[in-house]
Chains A and B, each alone.
Chain A
Amino acid sequence: MVAKTLYDKLFDSHVIHEENGTALIYIDRHLVHEVTSPQAFEGLKLAGRKVWRVNSILAVPDHNVPTTERSSGVVGITDPISRLQVQTLDDNCADFGITEFKMNDHRQGIVHVIGPEQGATLPGMTVVCGDSHTSTHGAFGALAHGIGTSEVEHVMATQCLVQKKSKSLLVKVEGQLGLGVTAKDIALAVIGKIGTAGGNGYAIEFVGSAIRDLSMEGRMTLCNMAIEAGARAGMVAVDDTTINYVKGRPFSPKPEQWDSAVAYWKTLHSDAGAGFDKTVELDAATIQPQVTWGTSPEMVVGIDGKVPSLDLAKNDVQRGDWERAYAYMGLSADTPITEINIDKVFIGSCTNSRIEDLRAAATVAKGKHIAPNVKLALVVPGSGLVKAQAEQEGLDKVFIAAGFEWREPGCSMCLAMNADRLEPGERCASTSNRNFEGRQGQGGRTHLVSPEMAAAAAIAGHFVDVRHL
């Protein structure tokens, strides 16, 4: 038998039909949120089409929901267009009979947090969502990628996606991460190395001892950021960590299905000798806590580093990008990262809002207080269940005592579609995934970091090396 990669196995096992290198693949799980679905539902309705398999869909509003008190539900959303979008999701789900965790459901949260949390993301699945960070779900040994709204409609109507197979990229991280160095730092280090276009056209598989040592939360953080490296999908092979995580969740296999599921899942790894189109290797021990300095995730350095000077740029196009980034970020070349003061802190997003992330940040914040120059430090749990768990562990009290605000779950200041945002010129230490111009509010300046590093920056008022605290 030919040796197959994990990606080959996942892709090939879902091909319904293939012609001229274009395949029709079957979709097992479809996650839906309020921003990219209304036009898809409208398309279905206009064409008089039905949803092919209603129970493959799980819907949740997350992008527009307020993170402040929201007991009055959808009518309490002050922005009328946000309210209409959330209401439209509720209406569409009701019309088509789709399971939805509504805004006030205790299971509501960011779509990429609730899928795994519910066991709605399982090894071996094909998972799609009208959202680029769907790559997150690849952490389970699933083939997961973001799609556009036309494809959302296509999957709803046909349960299939028209796909060409990607090339395969192996990212190998061997060795042990230093204390205070996280999956987020691996992700940023990989992007720093290959660039935001480095993974274009590829599906990434992450392997190596440093990856095996990661918890599921860490693997999700890593796969989440695969899209920032340009790859539509990132994945990690199934092992006991995966299987233990999945067990006993609401949508997981029933007890009588469990053994056969596990037997199948254990085949979900790349075979020895399987060929990859490209390989990138990193030594875990050399990865430092990472901080982005510019307006693209690839503009990143270790905490010991400086804003790079123009002579380090690889060509004129990059020089132009960096000059624009200096101006936008209000930074000059050669500024040490530890001398950058911050105005706000955001701990949350589908990258870093799970229980482990909150525990890690709370450990740093415990018994301390945010610096006087920090105007706002937000902690936004990824889901209602994460929030409840954190509260049970007393993490909310730790954060509040340290001067952080403890919010309701949602995307929040990751993209600032609700009221949580940066004002022009404000600088933020953020655990999210994108530092694009305007991402967290027009004129806002975002520095991407791990939860530990964000908490440490909140306390110090500027970036600091969490390893030296």
Chain B
Amino acid sequence: MQAFTQLNGLVAPLDRANVDTDAIIPKQFLKSIKRSGFGPNAFDEWRYLDHGEPGMDNSKRPLNPDFVLNQTRYQGASILLTRENFGCGSSREHAPWALEDNGFRVVISSSFADIFFNNCFKNGMLPIVLSAEIVEGLFKEVESSVGYQLNVDLDAQSVTTPGGKAYVFEVDAVRKHNLLNGLDEIDLTMQQQDKIKAFEIKHRQTQPWLFN
């Protein structure tokens, strides 16, 4: 997994609550058996005016001028600012894959759906929870100043505005460590394999039917 330490990035505002993973990456693109290549289809139904299907040349499709992420000022954004309950719905990890492939490494919101939140960390992305008031304030700042950037520092657990205001966010210690160091979770768990085996033996003795 790629490590995440610090990021100075352009912010794109997606002013909606309850953005679901079906919206982040529509199901027709889930037929792919690959992990990459989802970026051009992130938010497909909002982003393009036509109906997208896998295999289309996305560079030739008509863009929806009303979709905020299509605006020139937000091209190259690496931080997505959005509203509560982001990533709800389906467990598809294709959602963080699509966002990451689209250049986003950080998503800031007042709350996230659990599975999406978790999936981000597995892909070197950092979901940050800030209070609804702070998020509201950031929306105002982003929208009123072109080229608005935030500095995100995982080690310090801080988001700093161009004006120098720093907001502290919570992050679980284990996740933070893994993300800072880009550690492979399967490798980490395999280091515990003796404990897993011992548990399994005991579990099999007490509930043998689980192993039928």
Closest to B210 in A: A28
User: Any chain B CB within 8 A of the CB of A275?
Assistant: no
**B9-49 interface mask toward A, CB cutoff 8 Å, 1 = contact, 0 = none?**
00000011110101100111011111100000000010000
- A321 contacts B27, C-beta separation under 8 Å: no
A22 partner residues in chain B, CB cutoff 8 A:
172-174
Contacts A151-B122, A197-B84, A320-B16 hold; do A131 and B91 have CB atoms under 8 A apart?
Answer: yes
Could you give, for residues 36-68 of chain A, a 1 whenever the CB lies within 8 Å of some chain B CB and a 0 otherwise?
101100100001010011010000000110000
Asked if A438 meets B113 with Cβ closer than 8 Å, knowing A257-B208, A317-B83, the reply is no
On chain A, the residues within 8 Å of B32 by CB distance are: 81, 85
- Residues in A with CB closer than 8 Å to B189 are 24, 154, 157-158, 160, 162
Given contacts A148-B119, A196-B18, A438-B23, contact A232 B92 (CB under 8 A): no
> Which residues, 107 to 145 on B, are CB-close (under 8 Å) to A?
111-115, 118-119, 122-123
How many angstroms from the CA of A449 to the CA of B94 in the assembled complex? 28
Give the tally of cross-chain contacts (CB within 8 A): 189
Which of the candidate stretches A2-10, A247-255, A385-393 sits at the interface with the other chain? A247-255
Contact status A85-B31, CB under 8 Å: yes
* B interface bracket (residues with beta carbon within 8 Å of A): 35 or more
User: Which of A26, A39, A81, A261 is in CB contact (< 8 Å) with B35?
Assistant: A39
Q: Is the CB of A162 within 8 A of B192?
A: no
CB neighbours (8 Å) of B75 from chain A are none
Q: In angstroms, how far is the closest chain A Cβ from the Cβ of B39?
A: 16
Tell yes or no: A182 within 8 A of B by CB.
no
| Residues in B neighbouring A29, C-beta threshold 8 A | 210
Interface stretch, picked from A122-130, A209-217, A371-379, A450-458, is A122-130
Complex alpha-carbon distance, A251 and B31, angstroms: 30
* B88–A230 CB distance below 8 A: yes
Nearest opposing residue in chain A for B203, CB measure: A26
The 3 closest A-B pairs by CB, nearest first: A253-B209, A150-B122, A38-B33
| A residues adjacent to B (C-beta < 8 A) | 16-17, 19-22, 24, 26, 28-29, 35-36, 38-39, 42, 47, 49, 52-53, 55, 63-64, 79, 81-82, 84-85, 88, 122, 124-125, 130-132, 134, 145-151, 153-154, 157-160, 162, 164, 166, 196-197, 200-201, 230, 232, 251-254, 257, 261, 264, 296, 317-318, 320-321, 324, 415-417, 434, 436-439, 442
Return 28 A-B CB contacts under 8 Å, by A number.
Answer: A22-B174, A24-B195, A26-B199, A35-B92, A36-B91, A39-B33, A47-B186, A53-B200, A64-B31, A81-B32, A84-B33, A132-B89, A148-B115, A149-B35, A149-B93, A197-B84, A197-B111, A200-B111, A232-B115, A251-B212, A254-B209, A318-B17, A321-B16, A415-B27, A417-B31, A434-B22, A437-B22, A438-B23
Given contacts A16-B199, A35-B92, A149-B94, 17 further A-B contacts (CB under 8 A): A24-B196, A63-B30, A81-B54, A130-B91, A130-B93, A146-B115, A148-B96, A150-B119, A150-B122, A196-B18, A200-B85, A253-B209, A254-B212, A264-B206, A321-B18, A438-B45, A439-B22
